Amino acid sequence: MGFLDLFGQWLEKRNEKRIEFAKSQGTCPECQGKGVNLLGMEQYTMSTFYVCSGCSGSGSFSDWVETN
């Protein structure tokens, strides 16, 4: 087993944990329930808020499941 395989497994485990946590909280794992994602360097201005594509802005885990 190579290093990349191990790294891939680690990432997968990490992602699973993130999703499990989000599920227990009932929040979208992509935006942590905020409904928006921050993009780019100017993350302190409102113009860089984007409606989360995972949950369509609702921030709920069930909506995220539907779109994924």
Q: How far is CA 65 from CA 9, 21, 31, 33, 59, in A?
A: 22, 14, 13, 13, 11
Instruction: Verify binding: residue 30, Zn ion, rule CB under 5 A.
Output: yes
Reduced to 3 states (helix: H, G, I; strand: E, B; else coil), residue 34 is coil
Binding string, residues 8-27; x marks residues near Zn ion by CB under 5 A: --------------------
Q: Judged by CB under 5 A, does residue 29 bind Zn ion? A: no
- Rounded to a whole number of angstroms, the minimum distance from the CB of residue 10 to Zn ion is 24
**What is the C-alpha separation between 8 and 38, in angstroms, rounded?**
26
Q: Which residues bind Zn ion (CB under 5 A)?
A: 28, 30-31, 52, 54-55
